[in-house]
Amino acid sequence: ETGVTQSPTHLIKTRGQQVTLRCSSQSGHNTVSWYQQALGQGPQFIFQYYREEENGRGNFPPRFSGLQFPNYSSELNVNALELDDSALYLCASSPRESPTEAFFGQGTRLTVV
Amino acid sequence: AQSVTQLDSQVPVFEEAPVELRCNYSSSVSVYLFWYVQYPNQGLQLLLKYLSGSTLVKGINGFEAEFNKSQTSFHLRKPSVHISDTAEYFCAVRDTGFQKLVFGTGTRLLVSP
């Protein structure tokens, strides 16, 4: 059974560009959440997807959007990148039978210059 | 909205000494509580969780935590730390009615020989 995998591991983008981050959920997990972790901070909830629909959203602007696919993999899209978007982006998946437990991937380190 | 306070940003300790990392959360009717560990350039790994039942929770790597409802605390303890325990530790809370995790700002545990 594979864990949660994210790609790419590192990414450098220019201010104003768009970026797509990918997450492959752990087998059997139908809920995926995305978090942003700025340097020296705890992770902040961006949004969650369940059965391909957004199921909750944190305090992030609409330029942060996502998708969940039938195989439960997921994407995080960020438009019009700003310098403050530089952070570690973490994906977490949860199994249907234990929705309280979140399994995290290793993250994607995004640097906006 | 739920919030989590980790009172110590950094805790230095010598190898084989005991350690306590403090965590307080804002009050709610009922909550789920978690401790995660993050090693450099890694994602989050679940150490332990409190969902209900016994207030003393045992986790991986010899860690344990005690849920104290009256003091709204969930402190993490280990009787004897190892060099390999050097990492960032995050306390998190989840309302039973909501899916997102709310994290503290983290405590860096520094274990020296």
Would you place residue B107 in the very low, low, confident or very high pLDDT band (cuts 50, 70, 90)?
very high
Amino acid at B16: E
Are residues B42 and A99, on separate chains, in Cβ contact within 8 Å? Answer: no
Residue matched to tokens 């009922």:
B30
The predicted structure's pLDDT at residue B40: 87
The predicted structure's pLDDT at residue A29: 84
- Residue B7 touches chain A, beta carbons under 8 Å: no
Tokens of A85: 């978007």
Asked whether the bond before A43 is cis by omega within 30 degrees of 0, the reply is: no
- pLDDT, average across residues B78-101: 90
A74-78 sheet: strands from edge to edge: A5-7, A19-24, A74-78, A64-68
The predicted structure's pLDDT at residue B100: 85
Q: Tell me the residues of A at the B interface, defined by beta carbons under 8 Å apart.
A: 4, 6, 31, 33, 35, 40-45, 48, 50, 55-56, 58, 90, 92, 99-107, 109
b/e map B55-67, b = 16+ CB within 10 Å: eebebeeebbbbb
- C-alpha A105/C-alpha A91 separation (Å) is 6
The predicted structure's pLDDT at residue A84: 97
Partners of residue A104 in chain B, C-beta under 8 Å: 36, 43-45
The predicted structure's pLDDT at residue A26: 81
Are residues B42 and A107, on separate chains, in Cβ contact within 8 Å? Answer: yes
The predicted structure's pLDDT at residue B98: 67
CA-based end-to-end distance of chain B: 41
Closest-CA residue to B34 (of B65, B2, B60, B77): B65
The predicted structure's pLDDT at residue A97: 66
pLDDT-above-70 percentage for chain B? 96
Let me know: does A53 contact A67? Beta carbons within 8 Å.
no
Residue B99 has pLDDT above 80, yes or no: no
Are residues B45 and A44, on separate chains, in Cβ contact within 8 Å? Answer: no
- C-alpha A90/C-alpha A100 separation (Å) is 17
Let me know: does B48 contact B59? Beta carbons within 8 Å.
yes
Range with the largest mean pLDDT of B39-48, B77-86, B95-104 = B77-86
Beta bridge partners, B89, equal B37, B107
The parts of chain A modelled with pLDDT lower than 50 are 1
Amino acid at A92: A
Are residues A55 and B99, on separate chains, in Cβ contact within 8 Å? Answer: yes
The predicted structure's pLDDT at residue A99: 65
Tens-place pLDDT, residues B22-60: 999 997 677 899 999 999 888 899 999 998 888 999 999
Amino acid at A113: V
Are residues B44 and A90, on separate chains, in Cβ contact within 8 Å? Answer: yes
Average pLDDT, chain B: 92
The predicted structure's pLDDT at residue B96: 66
Nearest to A43 among B32, B42, B103 (CB): B103
